Amino acid sequence: MKVGIVTILLSLLVSVFASAQTTTWHYEFNEQEMPQSWQWLHETEGWPNKVKNQFVENGVLTIEPGTSGWFADKNAPFLFTLVKGDFDVRARVLASGLQNRLPETVWSLGGLMVRVPKNTNKDEWKPKEENWLFLTTGVAEETGKRVVETKYTINSKSNLKLRDVKDGWITLRIVRVGNSFILLTKLDDDKSWTVRDRYYIADLPPVLQVGINAYTNSMAVPPQILWGDPFAFNNQTFDELGKPDFRLLVDYITCQPAAVSFKSENPGSQWLKNVYENRLTDSQLSDKSLLKLLGE
């Protein structure tokens, strides 16, 4: 019976999803300067610059963040462009320390991030207005152990998962189909993608910030600020405390239309659209079947 349900769901998905329309781009960092369409969060919202070092060399973008962290109302370095509609964004990255293969500072991670843009700047900041999700790699609560972190934050309330991962370059991938967001990874020697998480997040706007984040050393911040004063956390640098020790190397970042997207000629089919988008995050649809829909 379960097999029959899955087969029906898969066939329905194939029949009602078609190619999406979104911006297609591929950036391999062969130029020293980023395109003008790419922006740093601290520049757009007026926060202090917490990027200690950033450069392009041999086709690889390197970002070395200062003391910072992405959780709750706190922010960190984020280099992004705007993407409209459904998308399939991927980045091949390597997370390391400044001197060693792995960071020696806990909560040193970076990777792909998708964030709801704000219409305000630092001077108009209010709590409980952060909405985003990301897929990062590095070290988390324990040094010496490489992990993949998935996290989403809704109205500044964060939820995360940590999973061990092998050493080496890894390709991170986030697919948006309407309200569904699928997070996947693939190591260079993997034959197929690994589905890390599926989120159904209603009411995110059509246009989102999509790009690369990086952060480190947040636990060195005084507890009264780290846990109690997000504005002070965002509006100060704390690099004289602890040891910021993180370097994110980005080989490329690419974006293309999602392989599946709801399509209907019926103007009153919004409810049906929501139903079928939700199928992508339904546990009855196996990872194997989901990967067939999303493509390689």
Return the number of other C-beta atoms located less than 10 Å from residue 4's C-beta: 8
Contact 13, 74 (CB under 8 A): no
- Shared domain for 4 and 25, answered yes or no, is no
- Shared domain for 187 and 41, answered yes or no, is yes
- Shared domain for 153 and 33, answered yes or no, is yes
Provide the domain count of the chain. Answer: 2
Structural domain span for residue 272: 1-19+265-296
User: What Å distances lie between residue 156 and 115, 141, 184, CA to CA?
Assistant: 12, 21, 24
Contact 71, 156 (CB under 8 A): no
Short-list 231, 267, 216, 240, CA closest to 107: 216
Instruction: For the chain, report the end-to-end CA distance as a whole number of angstroms.
Output: 29
- Shared domain for 2 and 118, answered yes or no, is no
Confidence of residue 278 (pLDDT cuts 50, 70, 90): confident
* R_g (Cα) of the chain, nearest Å: 19
- Shared domain for 275 and 136, answered yes or no, is no
- Shared domain for 125 and 58, answered yes or no, is yes
Contact 161, 147 (CB under 8 A): no
- Shared domain for 184 and 203, answered yes or no, is yes
Confidence of residue 273 (pLDDT cuts 50, 70, 90): low
Residue with tokens 């504005």: 231
Taking the C-alpha atoms of residue 149 and residue 163, their distance in angstroms, rounded to an integer, is: 7
The residues pairing with 65 across neighbouring beta strands, listed in sequence order, are 51
Please, what is the average pLDDT of the chain? 89
* Share of residues in the chain with pLDDT > 70 (%): 86
- Shared domain for 141 and 12, answered yes or no, is no
The string of pLDDT tens digits covering residues 97-124 is 999 999 999 999 999 999 999 989 999 9
Residue 161, domain CATH: 2.60.120.200
Short-list 43, 229, 209, CA closest to 113: 209
Taking the C-alpha atoms of residue 191 and residue 36, their distance in angstroms, rounded to an integer, is: 36
Confidence of residue 143 (pLDDT cuts 50, 70, 90): very high
User: What's the token pair of residue 148?
Assistant: 């993949």
- Shared domain for 15 and 29, answered yes or no, is no
Output the CA angle 163-169-171, nearest 5 degrees: 70
- On the question of pLDDT at 252 being above 80, the answer is yes
- Shared domain for 280 and 293, answered yes or no, is yes
The string of pLDDT tens digits covering residues 48-107 is 999 999 999 999 999 999 999 999 999 999 999 999 999 999 999 999 999 999 999 999
The string of pLDDT tens digits covering residues 44-53 is 999 999 999 9
Return the number of other C-beta atoms located less than 10 Å from residue 81's C-beta: 19
- Shared domain for 68 and 137, answered yes or no, is yes
- Shared domain for 106 and 209, answered yes or no, is yes
